Amino acid sequence: MNKVVNNADAAIAGISNDMTLMLGGFGLCGIPESSIAALVRSGVKGLTCISNNAGVDDFGLGLLLQSRQIRKMISSYVGENDEFERQMLSGELEVDLIPQGTLAERCRAGGAGIPAFFTPAGYGTEVAEGKETREFNGKMYVMEHWLRADFAIVKAWKGDTQGNLVYRYTARNFNPLMAMAGRITIAEVEELVEPGELDPNTIHTPGIFVQRIFQGTGYEKRIEQRTTRKRS
Amino acid sequence: MGLNKDQMAQRIARELKDGYYVNLGIGIPTLVANHIPEGIDVELQSENGILGMGPFPWEGEEDADLINAGKQTVTLKPGAVIFDSATSFAMIRGQHVHLTVLGAMEVADNGDIANWKIPGRMVKGMGGAMDLVSSAENIIVCMMHTNKAGESKLLPECTLPLTGVGCVKKVVTDLGVFDIVPEGFLLIERAPGVTVAEIRAKTAGRLVIAENVPEMVL
């Protein structure tokens, strides 16, 4: 089953105004750089973006915020983006902040066909307002619903033409979960290979979850906090 | 006076036990990794998907694909493992992680914690903090005793939106170490040179003081 498309612009075909997208990544690590650039070029507007973070002012999802293409963000932490904070505090941008583990599990549940689950995260806080709570074994839990998206866009290290994916180090993060939860899942990879070249024992995302795949170009892979030890 | 950040981290490191899996939050908690006592074998969990996190890389060996939850470049120890975010929080919610150390803006004397939002002013988000505090059996908060205005961060009740309820077990500040007991903040150690009177004056929440509160030896 060949799922290869030519490039990012071809991959995002069909993404239209007011759709809901999931975008993999943690901070700037493992984000679909090529697809984000294509979304900026496309001019699509009114997007709801589900992503753990919102990039920084001039990179990652920050690019789509600058161009005002995002109507709503669903994230767990947005601290590194001044433009995001400005748009949120002024009410231009709708924001749903949810606990990181809840976000991950809601994506996983969406992909796994589980409409809701109970988690202790957020019990007794404003996160639980308006939600069903229930006691299990003497502890209180909050019911959370699955998340699904019109398109999920993920970034992998290697992928084959059938959509099987392998991630590199912590660039994995939310990518495998979001890959499961897209009605259409787009995978961009650093290296596109033929079926059989990836070891079946080490594939992280089975190709069944992926509808379109392409090899991205010009990865910047920006480091947000460069921390090192000095050689003595 | 009181402890500096590194000394706070050093004091918290004494709470580590051999065989612990530990999640260290952003900021001062991260420094705990520099003070792991000799003979104590712990593995550090980073909620973006690492178990067995190592120190920062040597200059020139940074890898954009290998970061911690604070988005800092890190390394892996031999035997480390990488996983996705759902698996990571399964470790946390499933109580496989033994100890969580994190910072806070406010802690109440019933163990409530607030550390993610100042309405109308600062809204960064909770990240993994709500999952961590709602699940960990052992939560240590590491923070300055007072805010920049000199007001107590150890309160009878949190004023900011909560991160979790009744979950904090221990607080280490620049002035002392406190266990949270039904009666409030139980002072168990004073920072070197800090008096009980000073701690009493700077603590707004209920404070319980034993007859003899030892001075911390670092």
**ipTM given for this complex:** 0.97
Pairing relationship of beta strands A116-119 and A139-145 according to DSSP bridges:
antiparallel
Residue A199 counted as domain residue: yes
Contacts of B121 (CB under 8 A, 6+ apart): none
Q: CATH code at A36? A: 3.40.1080.10
Residue A137 lies in a domain: no
Looking from the CA of B109 toward its CB, the CA atoms found within 13 Å total 15
Count of domains for chain A: 1
Kindly state whether residue A222 falls inside one of the protein's structural domains.
no
CA–CA separation, A44 vs A183, rounded Å?
18
The verdict on a CB contact (< 8 Å) between A89 and B72 is no
Examine residue A139 and state whether it is found in any structural domain, yes or no. no
Answer yes or no: is A32 within a domain: yes
DSSP SS3 for A106? helix
Whole-structure pTM over 0.90, yes or no?
A: yes
**A188 is a domain residue:** yes
Distance CA B215, CA B196 (A): 10
Q: Mark whether B137 is an active-site residue.
A: no
Q: Catalytic one among B15, B38, B43, B47?
A: B47
Average pLDDT of span B85-101? 97
pLDDT tens figures, B132-190: 999 988 999 999 999 999 999 999 999 999 999 999 999 999 999 999 999 999 999 99
Distance from CA of B23 to the nearest CA of A (A): 14
Biggest distance spanned by C-alpha atoms of chain A: 57
Task: Report the residue of A100, A172, A177, A226 to disrupt the B interface, i.e. the one with the largest count of B CBs within 10 Å.
Answer: A100
* Phi/psi of residue A120, nearest 5 degrees: -75, -15
Note whether residue A126 is domain-resident: no
The single-letter code of the amino acid at B3 is: L
Domain that holds residue A196: 8-115+147-215
Hey, is B116 helix, strand or coil? Answer: coil
Rg (CA), chain A: 18
Q: What percent of chain B has pLDDT over 90?
A: 92
Residue A153 in domain: yes
Q: Containing H/E element for B88?
A: helix B85-93
pLDDT digits (tens, 9 = 90+) for B26-79: 889 999 999 999 999 999 999 999 999 999 999 999 999 999 999 999 999 999
**How far apart (Å, rounded) are the C-alpha atoms in residues A30 and B46?**
16
- Strands, DSSP E only, in B21-88? 21-24, 43-46, 50-53, 76-82
Per-residue pLDDT at B210 exceeds 90: no
Q: A113, exposed or middle or buried, with CB in 10 Å at 0-12, 13-18, 19+? A: exposed
Q: How far is B182 from chain A (nearest CA, A)?
A: 18
